[in-house]
Amino acid sequence: MLSGIVHTLRSASPLWRLDLWVDDRPWHGWGETATGHPASNGALVDVDTDIAEVVAKARTEGEITRLVFEPPRLSDLFREVVRR
């Protein structure tokens, strides 16, 4: 069961949302760089993922045109709890 203030739950999550676009297209080339969990408009990655490493890998495939790294949305948290 998950309960608490939404802001606190989002900030405390071990997974954060990473939305990365290369050449104006969503990029999903996580490979061994990050543990990606599908999420709409991006992926959920471990909060301790080395974002610089992910960015370096993405840059080898083109120009990064969007990068957002933020706490998960409430819908992301819900899906993770239901998945357990």
For 35-80, the pLDDT digits (tens) are 556 666 678 888 888 889 889 999 999 999 999 999 988 888 887 7
What is the rounded distance in angstroms from the CA atom of residue 74 to the CA atom of residue 84?
Answer: 16
| pLDDT given at position 84 | 64
φ and ψ at residue 17, rounded to 5 degrees? -85, 130
Question: Which position has the token pair 């933020």?
Answer: 70
- Strands 64-70 and 42-46, by their bridges, are unpaired
- Per-residue pLDDT of 28-47, as tens digits, reads 887 665 555 666 667 888 88
Taking 80 as the threshold, does the pLDDT of residue 27 lie above it?
Answer: yes
Contact (Cβ atoms closer than 8 angstroms) between residue 16 and residue 47: yes
Give the separation between CA 2 and CA 18, rounded to whole angstroms: 22
Which of the four pLDDT bands, split at 50, 70 and 90, describes residue 2? low
